[in-house]
Amino acid sequence: VKGQSSAYASEAANNPQLSDNFNHGRAADATPSFGVGSLGISHSEQLFQDATSSFLATLSSSIYSKHPQSSSLPPKESQELAEFIDLIRWAFPPETKVHTLAEDLKQEFRSITSNEEGLLKVLSRHMDLREGATWSKRCTGGNSNEDPYSCGIWSLLHIISIGVAERHSSVVGDSERVSVQHAGQSIQ
């Protein structure tokens, strides 16, 4: 993951007009970073788009990067991935694209952990693998010195940390608190 951020930052900075796979075709940079514009997307929509983009970038480039081609994920890594996917499914609202992606990954879990081809097949239903992930202006800042990948990862972690508490509270109520330790371990 660490080595991937500069490649994604460079790609996004050099091609800010990439079609936006995550905001229903609206221009990601049509709105200032705050507020809602009639032609653009809101700050919170950009936050979710950026989190989704970095999650997709991580999945498409890092999960199998240290394994021999055509190999499956080791059991420990498969279990860690399953827990992280479950955390995403729990933390993100059901109407978000990343939640839909996580549901798809969970349904196709055997395929995505068998080999990289299985993972890429599932991811191709959620993004154009030739173009890669795209980030909003919130993360690109219109500046080639920005690192949209890291910005999106921070967005992802922020949404997870708040989303877990919010969903837990709405489902279980205030009588029981979610374990921050479990969420942190899954993120790690």
Checking if the pLDDT of 162 tops 90, the result is no
> In one letter, which amino acid is 178?
V
pLDDT band at 30 (very low <50, low <70, confident <90, very high): very low
Considering only residues 176 and 48, tell me which one the structure prediction assigns the higher pLDDT. Answer: 48
The predicted-structure confidence for 57-107, as pLDDT tens digits, reads as follows 999 999 999 999 889 999 999 999 999 999 999 889 899 899 999 999 999
pLDDT attached to residue 85: 95
DSSP-derived secondary structure for 11-26: HHHH-TT---TTTTT-
Checking if the pLDDT of 24 tops 80, the result is no
Checking if the pLDDT of 174 tops 70, the result is no
Tokens found for residue 117: 């081809």
Q: Does residue 123 contact residue 53 with C-beta atoms inside 8 Å?
A: no
Give the lowest-confidence range in 31-40, 76-85, 129-138.
Answer: 31-40
- State mean pLDDT over 173-188: 59
